[in-house]
Amino acid sequence: MTNARASRRRAQIVMVCAITAIITLVATRDAPEPILPSADPGAFDGIRASEELRRFVADGTPRAVATPGHDAARERLRTRLTEIGSGGTALFTEQTFFARGWNRTAVEMTNILVRVLGVSAEHRPPFVLLSAHYDCVPMGPGAGDNGAGVACALEIIRALTAVPPPNDVFVLFCDGEETGLQGARAFGLEHPVWPSIGAVVNLDARGSDGPVYVFEVGADGPAHAALLSALNTPARTTSLAAEAYRRMPNGTDFTVYLRGGRPGFNLAFVGSPRNYHTAEDTIANLDPRTMNQMGLSALAFVRALSGGQSPMPTPSEFAQWSTPQTAPPIQSAVWFDLFGFFIVRWPAWLSNVAIIGSFVAMAITLRSLRRASVASLIGSIVGSAGAVVGLIVAAAAGTFISFALNRLNLVEMPWPIQSIWWGDVSLLLVGFAAVVIPSRVIARHRITRRFSPCASWDGWFGGWFVMIALVAVIAWFAPGAVHPLLVPIVVAVALTLLALRRRSLSPDWCAVGSGIAAVAMWAPLEPAFADAFGLSLGGFTAVRGALVMIACRPLCDPIE
């Protein structure tokens, strides 16, 4: 075996081991931590929250508005709030309104608003609002959506009454969310407390288990990212989710609050979406660890915001919040949790600097390696064309395959593992193949004219120039979504500059470094993508696989 082949084999082995380690880490970190008992009366207790859930859901009768089950659930909620607030530190009032129900006719609905008194003697706004809707769809008992949010809110009220927050906190149990966000709309339009609200924490669900995500924030991205980083709650978060959800037609009660200009955090879990809005949304299928993670995170946000931490408005700004207004302009930032250990963040403008700097650095190194006859301009252009072809083929093939699987109902077959996972992995492999095949064809063609290192470097530069162009487009339209591509690009640029100084560093080992960075960025997002979208966006799934393969492209090229 030649030295080049031996080096390639070692690089491939290291890459496989790194991918295995990252996937293992993602799998172990994706499940919420076990529930631990706490002697602190002001802390969230997941065991007590589970009891609240069982008490609220009761026999599992659906809580669709204007049904006996809904009325009974509201009575249970009133009873429990009376018990919790018997000491006078948590008082509740009700807001009755009429809105469209499930039968398209106007029905009576009721919001329940709890005021938990803080330690402040002035009790002056702005106040924090914790929101969770208590109705559900007619198809099931709604243990996850949104019994879990109600149970967490009840346990948070107990914790706040035991150890009062710095300022008053309002807790809103919304009605009519499932019929069009009716309770949140009525609260924002008609309730006299709304002008006093300075920030909102909303609880919702689209599944039964998995990690809790802070998937939506207010308009001031840098301030929200700073608070997320400072608190480092158990919930997972990424600005990519915030950018994506902002452009989706879906909505939660938080959508109403955002339109009213309020900052805040929207929390939900999306694991096992097959249970969402079905008869399987039961207590038995709900992971109590997930609910515990939601409660711990929400309580941390409420206490921090109540203490006046950003992004709450300052007193001089608060006058703006007392009148109706459109949502404020979006101030973008980039943030993401690194495997749930800590949060990385930076301002959006720094992404633009990194993109420009990466392009300039790649152009300089290409010029230097051309002089050394180990890279060529025409070869890099051909390599870019190959990467573009791979991405287009991946998008087209992924879209066609996912459409075919859904039309043939193959995703519903009783496979050994959940169909959503074998489908997701299959589409990722389609993306891998879409890049590898043209890359190998182009590399063989280049080898007949020059030699292997030149072919590998040409493919390397070609792929990364395409990635830089792609991330530049993303930065223009969705600044918070750049990090899954920008981090591998920065790593690739650093390794290319190192290769320029140390000519012994081959593109194989550069590909190992950038490939590890790409897998580390995309792998933690994959479970959320699969749960949130399933196989409905097969083209996007295949493109994700293609992007990862572009990052480690030289490892798959032939050697002469």
In which band, very low, low, confident or very high, does the pLDDT at 473 lie, cut at 50, 70 and 90?
very high
Paired tokens of 280: 């399987």
Amino acid at 37: P
Q: What is the pLDDT of residues 492-503, one digit of tens each?
A: 999 999 888 876
pLDDT band at 542 (very low <50, low <70, confident <90, very high): very high
Architecture of domain 34-331: 3-Layer(aba) Sandwich (3.40)
Angstrom distance (rounded) from CA 495 to CA 278: 50
The reported pLDDT for the residue numbered 417 is 45
- Identify the residue with better confidence: 456 or 63: 63
pLDDT bucket at 449, cuts 50 / 70 / 90: low
Concatenating the DSSP letter of every residue in 84-131 gives: HTTTSSEEEEEEEEEEE-TTSSEEEEEEEEEEE--S-SS--S-EEEEE
As a whole number of angstroms, the distance between CA 521 and CA 381 comes to 27
What is d(CA 226, CA 230) in angstroms, rounded to the nearest whole number? 6
Q: List, by residue range, all CATH 3.40.630.10 domains of the chain.
A: 34-331
Between the alpha carbon of residue 24 and those of residues 409, 524, 548, the distances in Å are 30, 11, 17
Summarised one tens digit per residue, pLDDT across range 281-316 is 999 999 999 999 999 999 999 999 999 887 777 666
Alpha carbon distance 119, 307 (integer Å): 10
In the prediction, which pLDDT does 248 show?
85
pLDDT band at 252; cut points 50, 70, 90:
very high
Flag whether pLDDT at 446 surpasses 80: no
Q: Above 70 in pLDDT, residue 416?
A: no
DSSP lists the bridge partners of residue 173 as 112, 132
Q: Are 302 and 128 in contact (CB under 8 A)?
A: yes
301 C-beta neighbours (distance < 10 Å), count: 24
Within 8 A by CB and 6+ apart from 152, the residues are 44, 49, 132, 203, 291, 294, 295, 298
Which pLDDT score is estimated for 391? 96
Under a CB-based contact definition with an 8 Å cutoff, are residues 280 and 253 in contact?
Answer: no
Residue 325's pLDDT is 55
For residue 468 the two structure tokens come to 């830089």
